[in-house]
Structure 1
Amino acid sequence: MKIREFGRLKILDSIRGIAAVIVLFHHIFKLNKETFKAILNDSFFYILNFISGLNKEAVLLFFVISGFSIGLSTFKRPLVNLSDLNTYFYRRLKRILPIYWIAILLSLGIGILANTTYLKDFSVFNLIGNLLFLQTSDSIPESWFIPYGLNGPLWSLSYEMFFYLLFPFVYFFSKKYLPKYKLYVKYFGLILLVLAGLAFNKKVLFIPQLLFLTGFIVWILGYISSEYFTHYKKNALFFACNLVVGFLLIYFENKIPSDSINFISKGMVITTIFHFSIMLFDKIKVKKLEAFLNFLFFKIGEGSYAIYALHYPILVYFEMKNISLMYQLIFMPFFFVLCYHLEKKSLKWKLNFLQRNYTKPIALLRHDK
């Protein structure tokens, strides 16, 4: 089988940057909607309102890129044994934890400044849930834990942690027990398992964290995209089917009133667009467009995680203190630069205390057998 040779895909960071800007703009627009309406004509306001409305799609795009990136990483550094698995967990924790902890501290600090720490969002119980990555969106009434300190975007980081933890088990199970099956067969089987989990959630017992499975379907599509990308596998039919199914589910959304199904269907469409975009940049080499996107968004993409995790408490504080939209927009370039340097520095932190034997329980089980 022909294997693709590739270096760093800068366009991935640029796409991350685009997604981060959309999420950031959505919250600026949402918190300053009346001001935007007052200063813009109807046509321009409608355009910005449409862009703002793509915030959920932007988060789904983050999931897809994350799955794709893990696919590229495991292609270069396959998970073969327990040592590889320990390295994988260390690298993932080292990536997600520093900025996450800073986001928690920032949320607490702004809560103290704004005198909002009496809210349940700041409770010790909720803090523990967030430190364990158990929070779900505060839009879900039955949530056990909600994002800490009014920092709404933190909901998706618990999903990311779940993806990182679940993926190795799916990976090893697939390699050991399902090596002869095609990717699309495994994917279909995974969808059936997820649907069974969602049915259990709805009909038997609601466990908020089972909703993570909906995101995992989208995330694993990103991983599958990387498999097709790295191995030059024929992919048009698989992704075309995903696109058609996704659009059909969106079209019949009113007849299938399920946020989870809607979440997955949008993820199918976004993954297909993402996949063919990556293939376009790789094969046709649209140099001018790629260079333009990298010029605008590459550096933002390198700080996109920090931008995503840190921006919302700051914007909420601006709203509470009646900081004008103009000053908020002036602040943003400085915020981008700060996030870029913060994320770059956090990647250099060794955090040796995270280098642990995470697979010890597995080794003990093997020994007992």
Structure 2
Amino acid sequence: MNKGLMPSYLLGADGLRALACLAVIFHHLTQRLAMHNQTTVVQETQAFFLLGNAGVSVFFVLSGFLLALPFWKSYLVGGKFLDMKHYVFRRAVRIVPGFYAAFFVSVLLAYIWQVETEFSIARLITGLTFTSGFHYTTFFPSELNGPLWSISFEVFSYLLMPIFMLGLFYLGKKRSFTKAISYWLGVMVLILILNQGVHFLFTPDEVQRGWEYGLIGGAKFWIPNYNPIGFFGQFAIGVIASLVTVHLFRRTDLIQRFKQKGGFDIVSGLSLALVFFFIFLVRHSGEFSLSIQNQPYYFPIFPTLIAITLCTAPLSRLFGKILDNFLFRYTAKVSFGLYIWHFLVITMVERYWQPTYVHMGMSDFNTWLVVSIVVLFISYIIATLSYYLIENPVLIWAHKRQRRTTQKEQTVRKEAM
């Protein structure tokens, strides 16, 4: 292991992305099973999988972790701040094509099926501009595709992270791991203060606040516990985990000895096991319990356990490889498509095949299981088509474009010398 050198592929990231994606899908599938008609064993299992929505938190931690890596690699060796033009371009080509496709199909189906959609113009505009999460009336940009709500929060985090990084890069000439982690812990404190301000200033009134009033009522119930500032705290945990990982790779001799003894396998395996054990323990708790400032997904306990797995799996000898098995790596590849399309599949199954496949609506377990397997299978097919026909062609085009741009810049610099 060369000092300061990290592999381009980090073990464990794909496995965690796949687990997060499947957890969210299983959350929505198990919502369709009428819990009160099931055996005790099924009820307890269902309660566990209903907390699969915490997979959204994993996505935020993962994004913070992976997007911060190039910043930390440059920062710790005294390098320059990243080119923001390239950063924004890469984020746009990764998110926009797939999201726009799913969003337009969702809007079109709502029009064809004549689904009543309040604030339709505002939701359309904010959906297209990734600003829907700033108000409860637009929080869910699509009436038919609820999971799209989180995308605006992700985009907000994408933009906010470099702003904080910029402050660190220009905060004195001396750079160190200690300085960087102290700075980002300070960012975490600032985020908590700002989030408290959001709670104080933007808590909605109680008029038609609740899921019984539809998606807008549900969004009104979620806000302000769900807000872009608060979710950036989960993203920031990933940023800090990324810094720790880069630092660990630079501590060559010490880390190599710990790795050879299987230390990282133990830590990463144990932390992920604790994730599942923690979710099992809190399966009957309230939606905003056991977390700071009533944030969702048990902040900061749950995202911190995920971050520990992310930090240590890349240095493990065996655990990271097990986590990144073939199925999980493929699931990770098409995970964005799975996330943005699976709920539309559920909706179409309800409309054209199983009308009882609604929230807590299906009593027979065997029927529910068959339908859910079909939904999962179709979702994989659509996600695969989305990746190979929409997402990947744009990524390939963007990679070629960026390579040509880099070559031109290098040519200009040589000619100027």
TM-score normalised by structure 1 residue count: 0.76
Is the Cα–Cα contact under 8 Å of residues 11 and 293 in structure 1 kept in the other structure? yes
Give the aligned partner of residue 90 of structure 1.
89
- Matched residue, 2:121: 124
Distance across 1 between alignment mates of 2:292 and 2:104? 31
Measured after TM superposition, the shift of residue 294 of structure 1 is 1.5
Note closer, same or farther for the CA distance 1:175–1:297 as it changes in structure 2 (3 Å cut).
Answer: same
> 2:91 corresponds to which letter in structure 1?
R
Structure 2, gaps ≥5 residues long = 205-222, 256-273, 358-367, 403-417
C-alpha change, 1:160 and 1:318, in structure 2 (3 Å) is: same
Structure 2 CA distance for partners of 1:177 and 1:264, relative to 1, 3 Å: farther
Following TM superposition, by how much is the alpha carbon of 1:13 offset from its aligned partner in structure 2, in angstroms? 1.6
Match of 1:360 in 2: none
Q: Give runs of aligned pairs for residues 241-260 of structure 1, distance below 5 A.
A: none
Structure 1 residue 136 displacement after superposition: 2.6
* Rounded Cα–Cα distance in structure 2 between residues aligned with 1:175 and 1:219: 19
The ranges of structure 1 where at least 4 consecutive aligned residues each deviate by more than 4 angstroms after the TM superposition are 75-79, 178-181, 204-210, 256-260
Instruction: Give a deviation string over 1:27-86, Cα, whole Å, max 9, x none.
Output: 1111x222x765x5320332132122231x21101100011110224356778357x110
| Structure 1 gaps, min length 5 | 236-242, 356-369
Report how far residue 18 of structure 1 moved. Answer: 0.9
| Contact map agreement 2:337 2:383 (CA 8 A) in 1 | yes
Counterpart amino acid of residue 338 in structure 1: I
CA contact (8 A) 1:136 1:145 kept: yes
Farther off after superposition, 91-100 or 184-193: 184-193
TM-score (norm 2): 0.68
What residue is the counterpart of 1:217 in the other structure? Answer: 233
For residues 332-356 of structure 1, what are the alpha-carbon distances to aligned partners after superposition, in whole Å with 9 as ceiling and x for unaligned? Answer: 223213313422441331369x99x
Count of aligned residue pairs for this structure pair = 329
* Equivalent position SS for 2:196: helix
Q: 1:127 to 1:171 in 2, by over 3 A?
A: same
* Structure 1 vs Structure 2 CA RMSD: 3.7
Query: 2:62, 2:244 → 1: CA distance?
Result: 14
Compared with structure 1, are the counterparts of its residues 318 and 66 closer, same or farther at alpha carbon in structure 2 (3 Å cutoff)? same
Change (3 A) 1:81 1:199: closer
Q: What's the CA shift for 1:309?
A: 1.2
Correspondence 1:330 to 2:328? no
Which residue of structure 1 lines up, in the alignment, with residue 40 of structure 2?
42
2:309 counterpart of 1:277: yes
User: Could you tell me how far 1:312 is from its partner in structure 2?
Assistant: 1.4
Is 2:290–2:298's contact at 8 Å kept on the other side of the alignment? no
**Cα separation, 2, equivalents of 1:160 and 1:194:** 16
Is 1:145 equivalent to 2:161 in the alignment?
A: no
With over 3 angstroms needed to count, the CA separation of the structure-2 counterparts of 1:12 and 1:340, relative to structure 1, is farther
1:9 aligns with 2:10: yes
Quick one: which amino acid aligns to residue 161 of structure 1? V
Deviates more, 1:94-103 or 1:209-218: 209-218
Going from structure 1 to structure 2, the CA distance change for 1:113 and 1:77 (only over 3 Å counts) comes to farther
In 2: Cα distance, 1:257 partner to 1:54 partner: 16
1:1-369 pair list within 5 angstroms: 2-30=3-31, 32-34=32-34, 38=37, 41-55=39-53, 57-75=54-72, 80=80, 84-116=83-115, 118-120=116-118, 123-136=120-133, 143-150=136-143, 151-177=145-171, 179=175, 182-204=179-201, 211-232=227-248, 261-263=293-295, 266-287=298-319, 290-291=321-322, 293-323=324-354, 325=368, 326-345=370-389, 346-349=391-394, 350=397
Q: Percent identity?
A: 21
Q: Between Structure 1 and Structure 2, whose CA radius of gyration is higher?
A: 2
